[in-house]
């Protein structure tokens, strides 16, 4: 598995949204929910309409860790959820396949994101990019690695900083300025 990066530039995020919206609103919403919650793709794809519609929080048991996760749904996400789920049955998957009642799976999500990234001109993009993008921009806005560490259930601040690409940014900046 390749290492993927967060989308650091907000203009690139907007470009991704535009491309995904042209493809299908589901794809746009998957990207938007992912970059605004930091949930793992496996947890996003397992969500049902009833998990988010009319709720103030997403409450799940994380598939990877088995830990309970409670994440606040902000007002903007509430609006997206209302729009996206308006005609959907509450028992259906949030990210349902267009070919039946099942959900889309990780490989399909990867294909959707990579096709959009290619169109936008981004590399090192994968399903984990959504979570990393959330973390990167959360850190840039609040500079609070301790809260981000809690959100991600990471074991240390160093793990969180490396995960969201901040450590690599610092290394790159230092090397760019270094010369003997």
| Domain ranges, ordered by start, for the chain | 10-176
91: left (phi over 0), alpha (psi -120 to 50) or beta: alpha
pLDDT, position 1: 58
Our answer to whether residue 87 is catalytic in this structure is no
Paired with 60 in beta bridges are 69
The CB density around residue 135, as the number of other CB atoms within 10 Å, is 25
Catalytic residue among 48, 69, 103, 131: 131
| Length of the chain, in residues | 180
Our answer to whether residue 57 is catalytic in this structure is no
Distance CA 75, CA 129 (A): 23
Residues of the chain predicted below pLDDT 50: none
Distance CA 75, CA 81 (A): 10
pLDDT, position 122: 97
Our answer to whether residue 53 is catalytic in this structure is no
Whether pTM > 0.75 for this model: the answer is yes
Answer whether 103's CB lies under 8 Å from 45's CB: yes
Catalytic residue among 17, 103, 128, 137: 128
Our answer to whether residue 143 is catalytic in this structure is no
Cα pseudo-dihedral 86, 88, 94, 97, rounded to 10: -130
Catalytic residue among 69, 80, 103, 154: 154
Report the CATH superfamily, name and number, of domain 10-176. Intergrase catalytic core (1.10.443.10)
Answer whether 130's CB lies under 8 Å from 31's CB: yes
Catalytic residue among 2, 64, 67, 143: 64
Our answer to whether residue 99 is catalytic in this structure is no
DSSP assigned state of 104: P
Distance CA 138, CA 128 (A): 15
Catalytic residue among 17, 28, 40, 132: 40
Our answer to whether residue 80 is catalytic in this structure is no
At residue 17, φ and ψ (nearest 5 deg) are -60, -45
The CB density around residue 27, as the number of other CB atoms within 10 Å, is 23
């Amino acid at each position: 598995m390749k290492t993927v990066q967060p989308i650091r530039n907000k203009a690139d995020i907007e470009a991704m949204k535009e491309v995904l919206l042209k493809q299908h609103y589901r794809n746009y919403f998957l990207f938007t929910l992912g970059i605004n919650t930091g949930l793992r793709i496996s947890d996003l794809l397992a969500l049902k309409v009833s998990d988010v519609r009319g709720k103030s929080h997403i409450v799940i048991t994380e598939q990877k860790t088995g830990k309970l996760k409670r994440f606040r749904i902000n007002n903007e996400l509430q609006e997206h959820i209302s729009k996206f789920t308006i005609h959907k049955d509450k028992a259906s998957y949030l990210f349902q396949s267009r070919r039946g009642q099942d959900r889309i799976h990780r490989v399909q999500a990867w294909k959707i994101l990579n096709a959009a990234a290619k169109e936008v001109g981004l590399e090192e993009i994968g399903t984990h990019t959504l979570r990393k993008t959330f973390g990167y921009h959360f850190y840039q806005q609040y500079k609070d690695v301790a809260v981000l560490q809690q959100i991600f259930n990471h074991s240390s601040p160093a793990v969180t900083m490396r995960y969201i690409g901040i450590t690599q940014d610092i290394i790159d900046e230092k090397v760019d300025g270094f010369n003997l």
